[in-house]
């Protein structure tokens, strides 16, 4: 199925990655979407919807929740109830509503940095405070700082956003790691929000461990997810949130109704149902493709730029690169990349301690990756 992951020309299609970068001639490796087509079952379903011709008001069919329940059971061995699931148009919107329900202006939200830059923008924009529980770097990977996390819980901070798989460091947390967080949260009555949007991008042989596996231990959690990363459907604005706690679910729905927040479009929910019903073979093939791309990147950079530390990748298609040997700031790194013909994401956006880091997206054709890495190496050797 490797022929499915060939480059698609996205120039002049309104793609942020290609058409909104500073240098339009660059090969982009920054925005977290993929540069190949979605699964054939999704393309077929979108054509079916388009051919129908009537695009009036739509509700969300029961098949939407059923598809999520079956997907979580089949992929992760995680049992969910249909009524826990609420459709939405984006994970960040879900987080926005949750934080509005759970916190007040001035409250602190715990993030485990370096972490997805939009979390920072969201919390600051809501006049909440970012409380960092910094991940601990060990050689080429990261672990959670449980001692400091417990100290923050003791201080009274009541919400933790747990990114799993973690963007940008690529960790897929083990069962024991998440269980330890959940038990600490239970001890101090802390609400845990799981961002699982990269859950199907898994290049390990382990099963992804969802926060839903721990509901019987502690139900003061919510899980945000979407098919957008795994199936390249971000432009269809379709997501869902899983809230096991009935009281919180009621508050969440009341808030979305009050704000007149819309459901996904017919194109969005139909594509997700198709993906979760018939897309598993394609997802598995994509993960093999990503593993090949990652192995090539690591081998190539180890040979050509051995000073660069390539973080171990388990999940996501985002590789975290440590360029500390250059002693350059993020802006200087990005300028060097851009002048060399590639666009990357700068490390300082994910945490203040990561000036000399880059995030590099490998969800592209092998040929695009080869060309981009050649340009990147040339830029830093010059």
Q: What is the mean pLDDT of residues 122-131?
A: 98
Question: What domains are defined for the chain?
Answer: 2-40+280-381 (3.90.1150.10), 54-278 (3.40.640.10)
Burial class for 115, CB neighbours closer than 10 Å (0-12, 13-18, 19+): buried
Radius of gyration of the chain (CA): 20
Question: CA 358, CA 356: separation in Å to the nearest integer?
Answer: 7
1 falls in which pLDDT band (50, 70, 90)? low
Q: Which of 218, 286, 224 is nearest to 252 (CA)?
A: 224
Q: What is the mean pLDDT of residues 79-100?
A: 97
Quote the distance between the C-alpha of residue 148 and its chain's center. Answer: 24
DSSP β-bridge partners for residue 160: 110, 192
Question: CA 278, CA 158: separation in Å to the nearest integer?
Answer: 39
Q: What is the mean pLDDT of residues 30-53?
A: 96
Q: What is the mean pLDDT of residues 35-59?
A: 95
77 falls in which pLDDT band (50, 70, 90)? very high
pLDDT at residue 2 is higher than 80? no
Query: What whole-number percentage of the chain has pLDDT above 90?
Result: 97
For tokens 């000036």, the residue is 355
How far is residue 294 from each of residues 32, 365, 368, 369, measured CA to CA in Å?
A: 15, 12, 13, 10
| 185-205 core/surface letters (b: 16 or more CB in 10 A; e: else) | bbeeebbbbbbbbbbbbbbee
Quote the distance between the C-alpha of residue 226 and its chain's center. Answer: 9
Q: What pLDDT, on a 0 to 100 scale, did the predictor assign at position 164?
A: 94
Q: Which of 23-32, 109-118, 257-266, 309-318 has the lowest mean pLDDT?
A: 257-266
Q: What pLDDT, on a 0 to 100 scale, did the predictor assign at position 316?
A: 98
Please write the tens of the pLDDT for every residue from 212-265: 999 999 999 999 999 999 999 999 999 999 999 999 999 999 999 999 998 999
Q: What is the mean pLDDT of the chain?
A: 97
DSSP β-bridge partners for residue 360: 319
Q: What is the mean pLDDT of residues 357-361?
A: 98
Q: What pLDDT, on a 0 to 100 scale, did the predictor assign at position 262?
A: 84
139 falls in which pLDDT band (50, 70, 90)? confident
């Amino acid at each position: 199925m490797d022929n499915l992951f060939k480059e698609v020309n996205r120039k002049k299609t309104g793609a942020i990655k290609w058409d909104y970068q500073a240098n339009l001639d660059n090969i982009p490796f920054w925005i977290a979407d993929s540069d190949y087509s979605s699964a054939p079952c999704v393309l077929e379903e979108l054509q079916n919807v388009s051919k129908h011709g009537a695009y009036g008001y739509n509700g969300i069919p029961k098949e939407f929740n059923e598809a999520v329940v079956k997907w979580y059971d089949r992929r992760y061995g995680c049992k969910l109830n249909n009524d826990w699931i609420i459709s939405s148009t984006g994970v960040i919107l879900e987080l926005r509503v949750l934080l509005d329900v759970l916190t007040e202006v001035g409250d602190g939200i715990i993030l485990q940095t370096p972490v997805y830059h939009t979390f920072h923008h969201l919390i600051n924009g809501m006049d909440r405070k970012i409380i960092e529980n910094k991940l601990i770097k060990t050689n080429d990977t990261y672990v959670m700082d449980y001692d400091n996390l417990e100290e923050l819980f003791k201080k009274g901070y009541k919400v933790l956003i747990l990114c799993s798989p973690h963007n940008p460091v690529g960790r897929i947390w083990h069962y024991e790691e998440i269980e330890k967080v959940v038990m600490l949260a239970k001890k101090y009555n802390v609400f845990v929000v799981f961002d699982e949007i990269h859950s199907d991008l898994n290049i390990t042989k382990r099963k992804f461990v969802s926060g839903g596996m721990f509901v019987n231990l502690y139900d003061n959690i919510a899980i945000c997810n979407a098919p957008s990363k795994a199936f390249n459907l971000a432009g269809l604005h379709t997501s869902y949130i899983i809230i096991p706690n009935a009281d919180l679910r009621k508050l969440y729905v009341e808030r979305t109704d009050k704000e007149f927040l819309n459901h996904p479009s017919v194109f969005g929910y139909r594509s997700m149902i198709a993906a979760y019903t018939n897309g598993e073979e394609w997802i598995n093939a994509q993960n093999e493709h990503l593993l090949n791309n990652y192995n090539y990147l690591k081998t190539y950079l180890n040979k050509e730029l051995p000073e660069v530390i390539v973080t171990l990748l388990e999940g996501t298609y985002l590789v975290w690169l440590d360029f500390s040997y250059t002693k350059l700031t993020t802006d200087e790194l990005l300028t060097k990349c851009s002048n060399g013909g590639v666009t990357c994401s700068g490390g300082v956006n994910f945490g203040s301690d990561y000036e000399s880091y880059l995030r590099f997206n490998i969800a592209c054709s092998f040929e695009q990756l080869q060309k981009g890495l050649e340009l990147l190496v040339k830029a830093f050797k010059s």
